[in-house]
Structure 1
């Protein structure tokens, strides 16, 4: 049956063969129009899959198939559907399948990231406990802006740069000589030799303090602070020097060193510790006013530490004084 086509020049009759040719041309035109969009979408999906695979290998190096399939692309997957694809498979179902695979990969990567973050947090907490505190945490807190009154009296450093190691380790202060037993016990404390002279001096002072040899620790730590004023351990040395006096029953001298350490650098690792020990020294001296000022300064300047590493000490000191 012929088909008539009306044009500006008159009616045109198209036969059955011409009609088939016309329909085929229309179909080819539609395919040509749809092909660029489909090719562009397929290219974007392929690029996303490649990027996720690269990220996947960074999270799971080695390509262990226990965690993921090394390649998730429709062309590389060999299963019953690929070998004998169902008759109903279309471009849309293929895209949906690839999106499902990408979502699975993203979920797996997200879970792996959370696991890694938790493991790192646990490891960091263990390191903090081993080292007795986190320098970075104190450094990250804002510097306090208040003013702490200077202790009434200041003491000279008990050791100078000319003090020999033998004199520092013996605990001699010019008044009484230590007993032979004490000298032997002090000499049994090993001074490390790691190649970092400043760190070795501090560690030796720490070992003396930890063993209960407070006069010897005072001299050693004072020697370290004087010789290495810019060392990363200096803030630890000043704070520990104050503790050596405090533990020896001299809270006034201890307060001087705690105050100096806090004033030297309020962002230093042991500045907040010294502020709390300053408050403790003031409590020991019966100076409630200065003790409360130090506690208020700590609470305002180091809120993270007040509920973190130093919370127990902070709460304990607040319970010993009435600052209302």
Structure 2
């Protein structure tokens, strides 16, 4: 019974050695323990089995015993730990990069919630000098700006009345289309009043950007570039994601050229290219080229 139990205890003891193989001086400790175990074997079990411990002197023809697995086990463990450390370093770097990118996205999202912020446009904002130019070009409050306030011409009133507002059930769409029809018929003061009302009454409608942009164009066509610059700039500032925000920058440059502010007009066209590159290189490319030519942009 003792012969069966002792080898098992010895075997269990040696199996645990690789787990501590990285301790300081572990090699010497393992050698000492092995010698002590061999001495125990020779003393307790003379001529016993070599299943667990190789004899001090092996027969000449005896097969070479298997090398100790301690060194290879420790080497494998060290290699695995090194690989884990490298993986952890890579993961840490990725986490830090993702955290930084997430912070940037959160900052941009927060800025987009602020009306008129530069981040809400997806690019840089119109320069302060251009903003100042637009502000300085605006007419004084209370000034008479529309011939619609003059005594109405009965014949004109009758013709305007013949232009019917559509009734499709979409109030925002109908309001814009009616303003468009007035503009198309060249009744610019009436179109201005209608488009201004359409944008104010339906600020969240898809056509709000269309209404505000066409309002600026109606002022331009009516020979009022100062009012046009204000309306167009407000469309870009308040609804930068609107479908006609890029167009408003182009027509804003046209208004600034008419106001003698060609340098600012060039800056606005540059803004258009930076913030809306797809539109600038696509459907508005010809207009941008003609606008730069008119402004003398380099």
TM-score computed with the length of structure 2 as normaliser: 0.54
Which of 250, 269, 272 aligns to 1:276? It is 250
Cα 1:172–1:287 change in 2 (3 A) is closer
Q: Residues of 2 paired with 1:315 and 1:154: CA distance? A: 27
Aligned to 1:288: 262
Q: Name stretches of at least 5 consecutive residues in structure 1 with no aligned partner.
A: 1-141, 159-170
* Superposed CA RMSD: 2.2
Name whichever of 247-256 and 182-191 sits farther off.
182-191
Is 1:214 paired with 2:198?
no
Aligned to 1:143: 122
Cα 1:201–1:155 change in 2 (3 A) is farther
Aligned to 2:201: 227
Greater fraction of residues in helix:
2
Q: Shift in Å at residue 244 of structure 1?
A: 0.6
Q: Residues of 1 paired with 2:171 and 2:240: CA distance? A: 25
Q: Name stretches of at least 5 consecutive residues in structure 2 with no aligned partner.
A: 1-120
- Would you say the 8 A contact 2:263–2:295 is kept in 1? no
Is 1:154 paired with 2:138?
yes
Deviations 1:62-84 (A, max 9, x none): xxxxxxxxxxxxxxxxxxxxxxx
Q: Shift in Å at residue 144 of structure 1?
A: 2.5
Cα 1:156–1:225 change in 2 (3 A) is farther
- Would you say the 8 A contact 1:157–1:222 is kept in 2? no
Mapping of residues 41-60 of structure 1, within 5 Å: none
- Would you say the 8 A contact 2:213–2:247 is kept in 1? yes
- The aligned length equals 171
Mapping of residues 1-324 of structure 1, within 5 Å: 143-148=122-127, 149-150=130-131, 151=134, 152-154=136-138, 173-174=148-149, 176-324=150-298
Aligned to 2:87: none
Q: Shift in Å at residue 284 of structure 1?
A: 0.7
Aligned to 2:106: none
- Would you say the 8 A contact 1:262–1:271 is kept in 2? yes
Q: Shift in Å at residue 225 of structure 1?
A: 1.3
Q: Residues of 2 paired with 1:240 and 1:217: CA distance? A: 9
Cα 1:206–1:155 change in 2 (3 A) is farther
- Would you say the 8 A contact 2:173–2:207 is kept in 1? yes
- Would you say the 8 A contact 1:279–1:295 is kept in 2? yes
